[in-house]
């Protein structure tokens, strides 16, 4: 087959082949003696601990510091919306690990999003994007949805306003420099017909660069409580670690050493509105995209890094606290007696096999929460590299 050009092919060094061959004799894939050089080559300083493999970088959008910096300016720029009211940072606040503290947020026109704004933490390692979309394999494709989507309207960019919105960026003196630096091979990166593509690639680069591996957990500085919580987390009684697996605490993780991209989504028994397993529309999860009945209520396991900062929880923000999330799992799902969506999620026929009920004491819940809190990365939420770069101005979103 002809090699794809426009599609985000992934930079994969030749060691992929070597690893594949080795895998047949070594399915564990834990330690290999393969020369790691290719897997660690990037034009970008990822600042990762040694044991974290580099994430994938799209062949047509390799990471650079200049694109990251341009993307950072765009991320915090509310001119990137139909009426100047919404920037990416409106729903993704650095102090909340780039979530927003709301159950559901509203877009530029006031339309409410049916799902909870996700945290943006180590997104570069996700093998799919958003809560449950198996068709989105790159951040570049995902970004088109908040910018240009019409159901729901988020930034509200469309056929009728995109030229005007682009002009509002073109008059910003900072962008002349930032676009030129980010796309040095282009003669006029801000005014050419590649300008929007450049916006998308830069935004994706910034989001891809939001890296968090500097928590108490990473430094091995766990309190006695958190250590007890870690043991619970990794116990066969609670089963947390199956879905929230690995260094990024989600089984939806890929990196440059990954050879097989298995898409994993899970129904955790939150709803069962018809007794047959249905989740309330439109939040039917992976099913919303595939139409496959067995995908009902399946969502991607979010990373638990910085999870203590990202309340409320679950895809629709319907669970207020981590304690309640744990209690739902302990019950083997959620029994909803009140409207609007009553039903016994515990009996959801599509529930993941690891959502088994377990007994847990209140003090064990607190231990587990202490462990989850140890995944909070204070450096991440205060890192000036990720903060709003704009000086005070009416035009630019300063939230928060």
Partner 1 sequence: MGKKGLYCFIAGSVLLSGCGGSSSSSTETVVDEPTELTIPFKAMVGSDPMTCGQTFTGLGTNSASVEFEDFRMFISNVRLVTDQGEEIPFNLDPDAPGQNSQVALLDFRDTATVNETGDTTDVCISGTDDNPGFKDTLVGSAELDPEKTISHFEFTIGVPFEQNHADQSSAEEPLRNPGLASGMTWNWQNGYKFMAADVIPVGGITRPDDAEWSSTAWNLHLGSTGCEVGTSDLADGVAPEPCAADNRVEVSLPLGGFEQGAYAIKIDYAALISGSNLNQDGGGAPGCMSFAGDPECPAVFKNLALPFGEEQNDGGNPNAVVFSIVERQAL
The residues binding partner 1 (CB under 8 A) are 1, 3-12, 16, 56, 59-60, 127-128, 133-138, 140-141, 144-145, 148-151, 157-164, 167, 194, 196-197, 199-201, 254, 258-263, 281-282, 288-292
- Smallest distance from partner 1 to CB 263, Å: 6
Phi and psi, residue 267, nearest 5°: -95, 120
Question: Which helix or strand (DSSP H or E) is residue 335 part of?
Answer: strand 335-336
- Smallest distance from partner 1 to CB 118, Å: 15
- Smallest distance from partner 1 to CB 385, Å: 25
Cα Rg of the chain (Å, integer):
21
Nearer to partner 1, 139 or 304 (CB): 139
Nearer to partner 1, 7 or 385 (CB): 7
Nearer to partner 1, 134 or 343 (CB): 134
Answer for the pair 18, 33: CB distance below 8 angstroms, yes or no.
Answer: no
Is the four-CA dihedral 6, 10, 13, 19 of positive or negative sign? negative
Nearer to partner 1, 141 or 242 (CB): 141
- Smallest distance from partner 1 to CB 254, Å: 6
Number of H helices and E strands in the chain, helices first, is 13, 4
- Smallest distance from partner 1 to CB 348, Å: 18
Which string of DSSP letters, residue by residue, matches 225-274?
HHHHHHHHHTSTTT-HHHHS-TTTTSSSB--TT--------EE-S---TT
Nearer to partner 1, 145 or 176 (CB): 145
Nearer to partner 1, 16 or 389 (CB): 16
CA 134 to chain centre: 13
Answer for the pair 127, 137: CB distance below 8 angstroms, yes or no.
Answer: yes
- Smallest distance from partner 1 to CB 243, Å: 19
- Smallest distance from partner 1 to CB 207, Å: 15
Name the 3-class secondary structure at 377: coil
Nearer to partner 1, 196 or 217 (CB): 196
- Smallest distance from partner 1 to CB 144, Å: 5
Cα separation, 381 vs 97, in Å, equals 6
> What's the half-sphere exposure (Cβ side, CA atoms, 13 Å) at 326?
25
- Smallest distance from partner 1 to CB 198, Å: 9
Nearer to partner 1, 10 or 398 (CB): 10
| Residue 92 structure tokens | 């993704």
- Smallest distance from partner 1 to CB 167, Å: 7
Nearer to partner 1, 197 or 324 (CB): 197
Phi and psi, residue 266, nearest 5°: -140, 140
Cα separation, 296 vs 327, in Å, equals 22
| Residue 35 structure tokens | 């020369």
What is the CB neighbour count within 10 angstroms for residue 361?
8
Q: Is 298 left (phi over 0), alpha (psi -120 to 50) or beta?
A: beta
Report which DSSP code applies to 380.
H
Largest Cα separation within the chain, whole Å, is: 64
Cα separation, 234 vs 347, in Å, equals 25
Nearer to partner 1, 133 or 388 (CB): 133
- Smallest distance from partner 1 to CB 92, Å: 18
Cα torsion 319, 325, 331, 333 to 10°: value is 60
Nearer to partner 1, 155 or 244 (CB): 155
């Amino acid at each position: 087959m002809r090699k794809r050009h426009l599609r985000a092919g992934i930079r994969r060094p030749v060691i992929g082949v070597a690893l594949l061959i080795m895998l047949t004799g070594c399915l564990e894939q834990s330690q290999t003696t393969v020369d790691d050089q290719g897997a660690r080559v990037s034009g970008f300083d990822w600042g990762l601990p040694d044991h974290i493999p580099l994430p994938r970088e799209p062949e047509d959008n390799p990471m650079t510091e200049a694109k990251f910096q341009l993307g950072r300016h765009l991320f915090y720029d509310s001119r990137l919306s139909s009426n100047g009211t919404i920037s990416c940072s409106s729903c993704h606040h650095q102090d909340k690990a780039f979530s927003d503290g709301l159950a559901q947020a509203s877009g530029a026109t006031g339309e409410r999003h049916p799902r909870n704004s996700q945290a943006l933490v180590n997104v570069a390692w996700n093998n799919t994007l958003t809560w449950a979309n198996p068709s989105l394999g790159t951040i570049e494709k995902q970004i088109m949805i908040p910018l240009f989507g019409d159901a729901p309207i988020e930034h509200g960019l469309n056929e009728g306003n995109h030229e005007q919105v682009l002009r509002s960026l073109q008059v910003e003196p900072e962008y002349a420099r930032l676009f030129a630096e980010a796309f040095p091979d282009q003669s006029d990166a801000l005014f050419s017909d590649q300008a929007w593509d450049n916006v998308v690639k830069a935004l994706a680069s910034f989001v891809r660069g939001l890296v968090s591996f500097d928590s108490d957990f990473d430094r091995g500085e766990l309190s006695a409580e958190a250590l007890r919580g870690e043991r619970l987390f990794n116990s066969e009684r609670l089963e947390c670690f199956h879905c929230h697996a690995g260094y990024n605490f989600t089984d939806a993780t890929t990196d440059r050493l990954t050879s097989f991209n298995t898409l994993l989504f899970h129904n955790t028994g939150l709803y069962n509105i018809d007794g047959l397993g249905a989740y309330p529309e439109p939040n039917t999860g992976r099913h919303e995209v595939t139409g496959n009945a067995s995908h009902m209520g399946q969502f991607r396991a979010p990373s638990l890094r910085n999870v203590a900062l990202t309340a409320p929880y679950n895809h629709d923000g319907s669970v207020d606290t981590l304690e309640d999330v744990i209690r739902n799992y302990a019950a083997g799902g959620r029994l909803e007696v009140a409207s609007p969506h009553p039903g016994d999620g515990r009996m959801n026929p599509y529930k993941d096999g690891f959502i088994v009920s377990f007994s847990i004491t209140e003090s064990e819940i607190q231990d587990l929460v202490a462990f989850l809190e140890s995944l909070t990365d204070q450096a991440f939420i205060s890192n000036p590299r990720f903060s709003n770069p704009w000086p005070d101005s009416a035009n630019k979103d300063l939230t928060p």
